[in-house]
Amino acid sequence: MDSVEYLENQDSFIVGLRRNDTIDNIEVDRIIANVGYSPDNSLYSELQVHECYASRGPMKLSAALLGASSADCLDQSSMGANTLKNPEPNFYIIGNKSYGRNSTFLIRVGLSQIVEVFSLITGDENLNLYENILQERSV
């Protein structure tokens, strides 16, 4: 695709399609961008992060997800603190980005990952971040 122009009065688009040195301008009602999805890793591109070749998520977690028995995103739990470790010391990728191209990430998993990362940082396996916050609020 070479260019896109929106025609406001007709609520349509003129799309310029390039083939070799020729451009064909066609008019369309809708544009559906099936361009795939992959994480923006620019934040850690110079750190020691081993990405999965297939999903582009961090390797340990990607391998664990690959071995997960169910493909149902609602039937999943966090893969555990050790899967969040990277070759780069003390650097963790959590949230949607940790799943790379996998589409099964849920915010519930991300909240568990936060607890796990804090247990890694503090070295306290039993630390439950949310429990402590709730206790402080009730005081």
Instruction: Find the binder of ligand FAD among 40, 46, 72, 136 (CB under 6 A).
Output: 40
Contacts of 126 (CB under 8 A, 6+ apart): 119
Nearer to ligand FAD, 9 or 42 (CB): 42
Q: Are 77 and 122 in contact (CB under 8 A)?
A: no
Instruction: Find the binder of ligand FAD among 105, 112, 116, 117 (CB under 6 A).
Output: 105
Question: b or e along 96-123 (b: 16 or more beta carbons within 10 Å of the residue's beta carbon)?
Answer: bbbbbebeebeeebbebbeebbbbbeee
**Looking at 18-26, 38-46, 61-69, 122-130, which segment touches ligand FAD (CB under 6 A)?**
38-46
92 binds ligand FAD (CB under 6 A): no
> Can you give the binding site for ligand FAD, defined by CB under 6 A?
40, 42-43, 95-96, 105-108, 110
